[in-house]
Amino acid sequence: MRNWDLNSGASKLELSMQSLFTASAEAQQYWSDQAQRKFQETYLLPLEPKVHSVLDAIHRLAEVLAEAERYCGIN
């Protein structure tokens, strides 16, 4: 029996990031000044590569756990 489901959490994280960037793009229609650019540079732009890195790590961990599950004969 599996005690973990990393794919669901990873999917939620990816969808949340997409929603955040979509909302940010929509907000730029109404908020387009120096404060908005600073917010983008400080928070949003650095976030994307970090989230991708975390998602890659989660997927690699899921593969390792699946392999361990097969090795141990866990169904």
Question: Is residue 34 domain-resident?
Answer: yes
pLDDT confidence of residue 74: 72
Mean pLDDT by 10 residues, the chain (75 residues): 78 96 94 93 96 96 91 80
Question: Is residue 33 domain-resident?
Answer: yes
Question: Is residue 45 domain-resident?
Answer: yes
Half-sphere exposure of 68 (CA within 13 A, CB side): 10
pLDDT confidence of residue 1: 46
Q: Please name the residue that has the structure tokens 């404060």.
A: 35
pLDDT confidence of residue 43: 95
Could you give the number of structural domains in the chain?
Answer: 1
Question: Is residue 1 domain-resident?
Answer: no
- Terminal Cα-to-Cα distance of the chain (whole angstroms): 6
Structural domain for 13, as ranges? 6-72
Instruction: Enter the pTM of the model.
Output: 0.78
